[in-house]
Amino acid sequence: MLSIEENEKLAKIGRGTAMGELIRRYWMPFRLSSDLPEADGEPVRVTLLGESLVAFRDTSGKVCLIQRHCAHRWSDLFYGRNEEGGLRCTYHGWKYDGAGNCVDMPTETEESSYKDKIRITAYPVKESGGVLWTYMGPPGLAAEMPEFEYLKVPESHRFVSWNWQENNFAQAIEGGIDSAHSNFLHATLDAYHRTDAWLAKGERTRRMRDLYHARDQHPKFFAEDTDYGVMTGARRETGEGQHYWRFNLFLMPFYTMPPSAQKQKFFHAFVPIDDENVQRWTFTWSLESPLPAEQVDEWRVGAGLHAALQPGPDHVPVQNRSNDYLIDRERQRTSTFTGITGIGDQDFSVQEGMGRLTPRQNEHLGTTDVGIIKMRRRLLRDATALEDGDEPRSAADGGLYHLRATDILLEPEASWMDDARVKELMTATW
Ligand code: FES
Ligand SMILES: [Fe+2]
């Protein structure tokens, strides 16, 4: 558990808060490139870290991210005219470029230099991997883009989506690194009851995950700080001498990378919209061949970790809190643990069900929560260090993110963090 004060420090991300300042040290994804498809197209409202912004693709095709409100009398620039390299306020025609400069002020005389004194907030934007990234921290710092392998593979090898989620970013991260919940939340009833048919399936497929999940439902958890964040290991007995390990990574300041199928990987980003809402990003990439077209078609309309979305700019899931995630109680009785379809949607139901900010002072943590405890401590420690003037090193070293999460069989005496094969499997190669 955390005290009320620690919980607020962990969760609140407005400008000037400890966590808000820490997260502003990092480049972060905020929209898909396809959310702003054309030059001089429609602007999009963006709220990030509690700041009201508007994004637009200018005449040259460059995406700009500026303060949503006009410096004159605060009109909403979302309604602005996107024209000739800038966004023009519809109230009295003041116009801003992507750097936030007021470049035209038709209400003043030609000779007036007043416009040269007017500047609104603007943040730099990079486009990479079909995603728009921004940096909202102090301009002088050497923040680097995280060098995720996803960003290096060909376009045919990757797929990304994001959706709106109605809870604080920190409890979403906790869901991302919580290896214990898949035996329940995401399980079929056969798996939950460990039926003979399900155990036999594990033996039959000989896939490590199925086999050892079936044999040992009480993994032992370990967690250690690393230069990129926190590495959590879940160790299962195989009954054959070796241990089956699954590694789950937390990467500063809001990424999670669970172990996944050998040839296909994914990670999440949980980007705070404000104190009570988060963008949940799912990045998927293939290590060798292009992603199968049928699979991508399924993801586009919502499947697996990529949630089905309502039309519109805010990427609101079809299954959400307002309709109880379309829970089917009959299926819950007869077929799956939750009765909710979709892995992502199952996650939303528990993370949003905690409330916008979960009251961590009320928790009773168990042995499976060691990674979550480490992650919280890491975020709080780095936020406190920054208050004392120590910049987070991971923000300035994109190479730390060139990683894969993995699972592996290890001899009992092997060191789970330092084993050479673990290191090799975790190193990205693109
Ligand atoms: S409020 Fe924008 S130009 Fe007047
Ligand atoms: Fe989950």
Residue spans of the domains in the chain: they are 28-134, 149-426
Which of 104-108, 176-180, 235-239 has the highest mean predicted lDDT (pLDDT)? 104-108
Return the amino acid letter for 47: T
State the Cα angle at 281 between 430 and 357, rounded to 5°: 140
**211 burial level (CB within 10 Å; 0-12, 13-18, 19+):** buried
Element holding 31 (H helix, E strand): strand 28-32
Grouping H, G, I as helix, E, B as strand and the rest as coil, residue 356 is coil
Rounded to 10 degrees, the C-alpha dihedral 337/343/347/349 comes to: -60
Domain 28-134 CATH assignment equals 2.102.10.10 = yes
Site to substitute for ligand 1 among 78, 79, 94, most atoms within 8 A of C-beta: 94
pLDDT at 131: 98
Q: What is the CA radius of gyration of the chain?
A: 23
Site to substitute for ligand 1 among 67, 73, 77, 118, most atoms within 8 A of C-beta: 73
Between 430 and 203, whose confidence is greater? Answer: 430
* 377-392 pLDDT, tens digit each: 999 999 999 999 999 9
Q: Whose CA is nearest to atom 1 of ligand 1?
A: 73
pLDDT at 359: 97
- Centre of ligand 1 to C-alpha 107, Å, is 9
**159 burial level (CB within 10 Å; 0-12, 13-18, 19+):** buried
Q: Which residues of 339-361 are buried (b: 16+ CB within 10 A; e: fewer)?
A: bbbbbbbbbbbbbbebeebbebe
Question: Which residues are near ligand 2, the ion (C-beta closer than 5 Å)?
Answer: 347
Site to substitute for ligand 1 among 68, 87, 91, most atoms within 8 A of C-beta: 91
pLDDT greater than 80 at residue 146: yes
Give the single-character DSSP code of 110.
T
* CATH (one of 1.10.3470, 1.10.760, 3.90.380, 1.10.600) for 149-426: 3.90.380
Average pLDDT in the chain: 95
| Tokens describing residue 160 | 């990304």
Q: Which ligand 1 atom is the nearest neighbour of the CA of 107?
A: 3
Helices (H), 194-292: 196-205, 208-215
Average pLDDT over residues 270-286: 98
pLDDT greater than 80 at residue 214: no
pLDDT at 182: 86
* CB-based pocket (< 6 A), ligand 1: 70, 72-73, 75, 89, 91-94
pLDDT at 392: 98
Average pLDDT over residues 62-81: 98
pLDDT greater than 80 at residue 2: yes
pLDDT at 103: 97
Q: Which of 79-93, 175-189, 336-350 has the lowest mean pLDDT?
A: 175-189
Q: Tell me the pLDDT band of 218, cut-offs 50, 70 and 90.
A: confident
How many whole angstroms separate alpha carbon 185 and alpha carbon 190? 13
How many whole angstroms separate alpha carbon 136 and alpha carbon 138? 7
Q: Whose CA is nearest to atom 4 of ligand 1?
A: 92
Q: Tell me the pLDDT band of 199, cut-offs 50, 70 and 90.
A: confident
Q: Which residues of 283-302 are buried (b: 16+ CB within 10 A; e: fewer)?
A: bbbbbeeebeeeebeebeeb
pLDDT greater than 80 at residue 56: yes
Q: Report how far apart, in Å, the C-alpha atoms of 189 and of each of 18, 144, 181, 275 are.
A: 43, 45, 14, 36
Q: Tell me the pLDDT band of 88, cut-offs 50, 70 and 90.
A: very high
pTM above 0.95, yes or no: yes
Average pLDDT over residues 193-201: 84
Average pLDDT over residues 86-111: 97
* 244-257 pLDDT, tens digit each: 999 999 999 999 99
pLDDT at 216: 83
Q: Which ligand is nearest to the CA of 75?
A: 1
Q: Tell me the pLDDT band of 398, cut-offs 50, 70 and 90.
A: very high
pLDDT at 262: 77
Q: Tell me the pLDDT band of 183, cut-offs 50, 70 and 90.
A: confident
Sheet bearing 125-128, strands edge to edge = 28-32, 131-134, 125-128
- Centre of ligand 1 to C-alpha 360, Å, is 44
Q: Decide if 152 contacts 287 (C-beta within 8 A).
A: no
Cα 405 to chain centroid, rounded: 16
pLDDT at 261: 74
